[in-house]
Amino acid sequence: MDITDREAFAVREFCVRYGICRDTFYAEVRRGRLRALKLGKKTIVLKVDAESWAKSLPALELVPAT
């Protein structure tokens, strides 16, 4: 099954999909920016929450070189 078709992601899958490390993942959860759920011992992120998190990230603003 293609990971993009899933409705929920494990931590490792989320990190691979969005190009972040586990430390950044858990930092985002601790700060309340990313909603994670527990399914038994496994931590998951629903696709809708992953997309909402990605859309909430600030745009990169580059300062023109002088």
Q: What is the pLDDT along the chain (66 residues), one digit of tens a residue?
A: 566 678 999 999 999 999 999 999 999 999 999 999 999 999 999 999 999 999 999 999 998 887
pTM: 0.84
- Buried b vs exposed e over 15-50: b needs ≥16 C-beta within 10 Å? bebbeeeeeebeebbeeeebebeeeeeebbbebebb
